[in-house]
Chain A
């Protein structure tokens, strides 16, 4: 009798705990058959391959409904020109901004290159740490997402991001950022920027797998991340990164 009562009580508590915990668990829409546990995503960027065409920026804006104005970007491309006197000139390559007509003479330039930028999907993300309501969070597969239904638009995460990778979406009034095209990668597709890159400067994949383009990229190159001193542990790594890039 005693045991039966204990069992029934135990079962009812366990059942209600399951219901309650299910209620609190964040529901991330995942397509059938996709198991986030099996993945941990990252990106490799080969500076020397980027030609600064800006196709990745265009594709990203199309794919993710990023406002077209040149103040809202999930990804962008910077052009660095380092001159002989040591002065560095940086520009955001965007078709919508009037380009400065500054023309550099080849003789004055020491080196020049393009740097694609995007959310670094930090493993130790400051944005997630500071969000007051937990609207921005890290998924099991390592991607940092924003829950539009939950974000209160306080912009603390935008302040906390050292890379300027976040902006406030002017229509949604919530924080917005690169998701590695989460809606695509969970279906086995590549992020839009990777898909369209004509020179394969961007390599997407699983950081743990070695038999993959990302694995090969990591074996074959000396790598660096942006602002390592801040200990954000970016999952976007660069090959051929110049010390001038911040």
Chain B
């Protein structure tokens, strides 16, 4: 038997340095498992940004509130896909829901995911849009009218009392939603952080680092989307909204950076048995993805830019450009962060005596092309969601009655 897998492994054998356990030559969690925490991180981050509007009453971010919610939903819908495709037996995946092993962090996936999707995101979005759906369907004909009526679950009550109730529900769900978002991504961090066999992963800080990097990436994504979508609609970007999002982004990056620095210093200072191989790992295998992409381009550079924006009063246009570039850099940085955790954690032997290699394929189920597909799918879903549930008020059809619904006033 000389399958493509074994041929690939024979090839990899030449790149091993030092000694690795023989079973360790195959990198078990590849690029798809890098994509998974990246996607869920964006969900949690986008949701937390949206929550700021509802819970802490950050009025400036209001124009991006619904966009953030839809972004969270679109990414959450796609998030399990890389996991599913990665399984040896995808047809048995339902076992995680039906007969979970309660001591397994991974088994909690079903519960956390279902809770977050059904109880938090879908409910909150429904209550947010309910009144609008009714109003829209009244002024529409054909398919859209039908779609909006079904999505509104045929509710028709737009009295002040009902709308007031919607508003209350949104606030209530958001309050439950914030810890849930923390749970969603904290738990992904726990999947890695609780593996005592792997010193690169095993850290109590892991869930918190995951969480803050999630917040960073989520805010950066919504900022990016808002700045792309608004001009496409030939509307003017609300600079106050962008400024506010960028300032949250700034604080989140600082916290994230401090946590990662703390983790780094802690490891270096404790200097445990694994320190030598981990230093080798960082200096050899992860130099580009960690040193250059994650820290320099993905963190220090955007941080510097944002400090400069605060120090010098740049004019609006330049500010927008800098925010835009920072948001993209941060996305690259956070993707590199996920890569460094998932792939980095498998590049050294648990014998602490050698390093192995990872070679991503172009095609195939776990290849580069599939990764591109998985990374673009959420955007396709999002564009459909935006079509069905426009996150901005349709001025002609809006009713000012009560003024209770969030108004996405752009420009």
B-contacting residues of A (Cβ < 8 Å)?
67-73, 76, 78, 88-92, 94, 97, 117, 126, 128-134, 150-156, 158-168, 170, 173-174, 230, 246
Say yes or no: A73-B23 contact (C-beta < 8 A), given A152-B89, A246-B352.
yes
Which B residues are CB-close (under 8 A) to A70? 13, 22
Q: Are B89 and A91 in contact (CB under 8 A)?
A: no
Q: Is B266 an interface residue (CB 8 A)?
A: no
Give complex CA distance A98, B349 in Å. 20
Say yes or no: A71-B351 contact (C-beta < 8 A), given A156-B104, A168-B26.
no
Query: Can you list 27 residue pairs at the A/B interface with Cβ under 8 Å?
Result: A67-B1, A67-B6, A68-B1, A69-B1, A70-B13, A71-B23, A92-B21, A129-B104, A130-B104, A130-B106, A132-B96, A132-B104, A133-B96, A133-B100, A134-B99, A134-B101, A150-B95, A154-B83, A155-B28, A155-B29, A158-B23, A158-B28, A159-B198, A160-B197, A167-B26, A170-B6, A174-B89
Measured between C-beta atoms, what is the minimum distance from A137 to chain B in Å? 9
Measured between C-beta atoms, what is the minimum distance from A111 to chain B in Å? 17
Which B residues are CB-close (under 8 A) to A72? 22-23
Which B residues are CB-close (under 8 A) to A164? 20-24, 349-351
| Closest A residue by C-beta to B23 | A167
Q: Is B290 an interface residue (CB 8 A)?
A: no
| Closest B residue by C-beta to A246 | B351
Q: Is B233 an interface residue (CB 8 A)?
A: no
Q: Mark B251-293, 1 if CB is under 8 A from A, else 0.
A: 0000000000000000000000000000000000000000000
| Closest B residue by C-beta to A79 | B19
Which B residues are CB-close (under 8 A) to A91? 19
Say yes or no: A161-B88 contact (C-beta < 8 A), given A72-B23, A152-B93, A166-B23.
no
Which A residues are CB-close (under 8 A) to B105? 130
Q: Are B89 and A126 in contact (CB under 8 A)?
A: no
Give complex CA distance A76, B13 in Å. 17
Say yes or no: A174-B28 contact (C-beta < 8 A), given A133-B95, A161-B197.
no
Which A residues are CB-close (under 8 A) to B9? 69, 71
Q: Are B28 and A152 in contact (CB under 8 A)?
A: no
Give complex CA distance A23, B263 in Å. 47
Which B residues are CB-close (under 8 A) to A71? 6, 9, 22-23, 25-26
Measured between C-beta atoms, what is the minimum distance from A159 to chain B in Å? 6
Measured between C-beta atoms, what is the minimum distance from B97 to chain A in Å? 10
Q: Is B400 an interface residue (CB 8 A)?
A: no
Q: Are A152 and B95 in contact (CB under 8 A)?
A: yes
Say yes or no: A168-B28 contact (C-beta < 8 A), given A130-B104, A173-B88.
yes
Main secondary structure of the interface of A (DSSP, over half): loop
Which A residues are CB-close (under 8 A) to B248? none
Give complex CA distance A76, B351 in Å. 14
Say yes or no: A173-B89 contact (C-beta < 8 A), given A132-B104, A133-B101.
yes
Which B residues are CB-close (under 8 A) to A151? 88-89, 92
Q: Are A162 and B197 in contact (CB under 8 A)?
A: yes
| Closest A residue by C-beta to B88 | A153
Give complex CA distance A151, B353 in Å. 30
Which A residues are CB-close (under 8 A) to B346? 159
How many A-B residue pairs have C-beta atoms within 8 angstroms? Tell me: 138
Main secondary structure of the interface of B (DSSP, over half): loop
Q: Which of A76, A91, A130, A155 has the most CB of B within 10 A?
A: A130
Say yes or no: A160-B195 contact (C-beta < 8 A), given A97-B13, A167-B23.
yes
Number of residues in B with C-beta < 8 Å to the partner?
A: 49
Give complex CA distance A174, B89 in Å. 8
Give complex CA distance A70, B25 in Å. 9
Q: Is B161 an interface residue (CB 8 A)?
A: no
Q: Is B107 an interface residue (CB 8 A)?
A: yes
Which A residues are CB-close (under 8 A) to B100? 132-134
Which A residues are CB-close (under 8 A) to B101? 131-134
Which A residues are CB-close (under 8 A) to B92? 133, 150-152
Q: Is B308 an interface residue (CB 8 A)?
A: no
5 further interface pairs, Cβ-Cβ under 8 Å (given A130-B194, A163-B21, A170-B6):
A91-B19, A150-B95, A151-B88, A154-B87, A164-B23
Q: Mark B173-201, 1 if CB is under 8 A from A, else 0.
A: 00000000000000000010011111000
Q: Are A94 and B22 in contact (CB under 8 A)?
A: yes
Q: Is B109 an interface residue (CB 8 A)?
A: yes
Which B residues are CB-close (under 8 A) to A167? 23, 26
Measured between C-beta atoms, what is the minimum distance from A142 to chain B in Å? 18
Q: Is B57 an interface residue (CB 8 A)?
A: no
Q: Are B106 and A154 in contact (CB under 8 A)?
A: yes
6 tightest A-B CB contacts, nearest first: A153-B88, A164-B21, A173-B88, A162-B197, A90-B19, A134-B101
Taking CB atoms and an 8 Å cut-off, the chain B residues in 4-36 that contact chain A are 5-6, 9-10, 13, 19-26, 28-29
Which A residues are CB-close (under 8 A) to B13? 70, 97
Q: Which of B95, B99, B194, B197 has the most CB of A within 10 A?
A: B197
Q: Mark B80-91, 1 if CB is under 8 A from A, else 0.
A: 000100111110
| Closest B residue by C-beta to A229 | B273
Which B residues are CB-close (under 8 A) to A67? 1, 6
Q: Is B141 an interface residue (CB 8 A)?
A: no
| Closest A residue by C-beta to B106 | A132
Give complex CA distance A92, B18 in Å. 11
Measured between C-beta atoms, what is the minimum distance from A89 to chain B in Å? 8
